[in-house]
Amino acid sequence: MTYRACIFDLDGVITDTAHYHFLAWKALADGLGIPFNEDDNHHLKGVGRMESLDFILARSDRTFDAATRGRLATEKNDHYKTLIKGISPADLLPGILEAFDWLDARGIRIGLASASKNAPEVITGLGIAGRFHYVADAGAIPRGKPAPDIFLDVANAFGFAPEDAIGVEDAAAGVTAIKAAGMRAIGIGDASILKEADLVLPDTSALAANGLAVLAAQA
């Protein structure tokens, strides 16, 4: 075993809150008279809140000052937090608990590198907050994905070199961030989109056996 930490994204990897994000962004866009649909929402995958807001506002012919942008971001986040209040362990994606068990059994540290500032509330609702050895504070990270900052933050917190860690992501921007950090990457989803990943799985159901174990054997 040559890696010492596994760093997970949250949305689309551990749970799927993308639909809740879509509903909250859609409500905001509708209120502003800006067209926004599920295809547009794919562009926001793995992207931070303000960057997502800027993507939506760029589709309008209006100009939004900093104060207005801040208010809109808060409005969206408040709506999203209301939507996720009912999240529970039943919302964990298949294979995640097995992956955590696999890592724990080998003494591999588990970190969370989510662009969501609501990540602590989400993992608490999922009942897995205690499974992480470190959770990055997205609000304190200078640059969002695809910059490597959040993955490097987790590695630094563990005191490990980047090459001692692997990352698990479902978004192209996230995979780019992992590779830019100097880590190996497991992509969850479409291999034609997650081209930079060292290994791509269609879903998380066999992450431990077909992902984590495979990369361990290759190292």
Half-sphere exposure of 213 (CA within 13 A, CB side): 10
Q: What domains can be seen in the chain, in order of their start residue?
A: 5-15+88-218 (3.40.50.1000), 18-86 (1.10.150.240)
Residue 41 binned pLDDT confidence (cut-offs 50, 70, 90): confident
What is the pTM assigned to this prediction?
0.84
Angle in degrees, CA 24, 28, 29, rounded to 5: 115
Residues in the chain: 219
Read off the pLDDT of each residue in 77-82 and give the average, rounded to a whole number: 92
Question: From CA 166, how far away is CA 84, in angstroms rounded?
Answer: 28
Residue 1 binned pLDDT confidence (cut-offs 50, 70, 90): low
Q: Does the annotation flag 46 for ligand binding?
A: yes
- Residue ranges of E strands in 12-162: 109-112, 134-135
Question: From CA 170, how far away is CA 193, in angstroms rounded?
Answer: 10
Check residue 84 and give its pLDDT: 87
Instruction: Tell me which residue has tokens 């640059």.
Output: 143
| Active centre residues (catalytic) | 9, 11
Q: Does the annotation flag 48 for ligand binding?
A: yes
Q: Does the annotation flag 205 for ligand binding?
A: no
Q: Does the annotation flag 115 for ligand binding?
A: yes
- Decide: 120 and 13 in contact? Cβ < 8 Å: no
Output Rg (C-alpha) for the chain, integer angstroms.
17
Q: Is the pLDDT of residue 45 over 80?
A: no
Q: Does the annotation flag 52 for ligand binding?
A: yes
Q: Is the pLDDT of residue 138 over 60?
A: yes
pLDDT tens for each residue of 104-127: 999 999 999 998 888 999 999 999
